[in-house]
Amino acid sequence: MDKIIELINDTYNTYHSKSKKMTIADRLKGIGNAYLKLIELCKENYLEKAKKYYKTRQKINNKLVKVQKKALNEIKKCLQDVLLDYHIMPASSFSARTHLIGESDIDLMIRIKNISLNDIVKVSNKLGNCGYIFKNIGTPDDEELRYFIHGKIMNGVEIEVKFRDYDGSQFIANLHEYLDKNLSLPQQMFTTYIKYLMKKENKKEEYWKFKLIYNEYGLYKIKSQTLIMPLV
């Protein structure tokens, strides 16, 4: 596991550093290559354990599929007389099949065309009426990336609904669509197991950094012009 931790930290320090003069494209390319090396390291050292964990996790998926479908239908019904021009989609580790056993929440993203203050108030109130309690505002200082988080427990599973501007979040939607539809089975399995290892060993910083690397691998694949986090 030491090699995995070392590569996670080296990748973050190299490609998220202001002192390194690189283009966004070069940073994402380096991160993408490092992610693939992490997958290979996990395969070389944890193949059977990763298979066993992934197979065990499959047993809980049917429940989560049903809960996600129920939540999607409930939210569509909740908003049907409030919004005309919006799009809702799953956007979580569960939909990408990289979630952990016992820690699987379901994230749903609502993208609203030309979102206005009036939309924010109406949608927040309507979600509240449907039992989704306001929790927080993400990226509050960026008008394009700002999102509003509401949460609810459904059948013992936490549902988080995040609504945001449609155009400002296009690259986020593209990222989730890529991760949900294009990761190979080995990538799903070993990504999951690396997350599990970091959690198990209480490597909180490396867990966060690996999730960032994984998501930015997706950004590399969709040829994004931005990183998820600012350089440090």
Its domain, for residue 7, covers 2-17+24-221
Q: Has residue 230 been placed in a domain?
A: no
Q: What angle do CA 9, 17, 231 make, to 5 degrees?
A: 110
pLDDT of 76 reads: 93
Q: Has residue 75 been placed in a domain?
A: yes
Q: Has residue 228 been placed in a domain?
A: no
Long-range contacts of 166-172 (CB under 8 A, 24+ apart): 166/85, 166/86, 166/87, 166/111, 166/112, 166/113, 166/114, 166/115, 167/113, 168/143, 168/144, 169/109, 169/111, 169/144, 169/145, 171/219, 171/222, 171/224, 171/225, 171/226, 172/91, 172/109, 172/145
For residue 121, the tally of other CB atoms under 10 A from its CB is 10
Structural domains in the chain (count):
1
Q: Has residue 144 been placed in a domain?
A: yes
The structure's pTM equals: 0.92
Q: Has residue 39 been placed in a domain?
A: yes
pLDDT of 142 reads: 86
At 229, the pLDDT band (50, 70, 90 cuts) reads confident
Q: What mean pLDDT do residues 102-128 have?
A: 92
Q: What mean pLDDT do residues 121-144 have?
A: 93
Q: Has residue 229 been placed in a domain?
A: no
pLDDT of 104 reads: 74
Q: Has residue 161 been placed in a domain?
A: yes
pLDDT of 23 reads: 95
Q: Has residue 92 been placed in a domain?
A: yes
pLDDT of 26 reads: 96
Give the CATH number for residue 145: 3.30.460.10
pLDDT of 42 reads: 98
- 62-112 pLDDT, tens per residue? 889 999 999 999 999 999 888 778 999 999 999 999 999 987 789 999 999
Within 13 Å and on the Cβ side, how many CA atoms surround 146?
12
Q: pLDDT > 70: what percent of the chain?
A: 100
How far apart, in whole angstroms, are the C-alpha atoms of residue 30 and residue 64?
Answer: 34
Q: Which residue has the tokens 């290892």?
A: 197
- 9-64 pLDDT, tens per residue? 999 999 999 998 999 999 999 999 999 999 999 999 999 999 999 999 988 888 89
Strands 157-165 and 86-90: unpaired
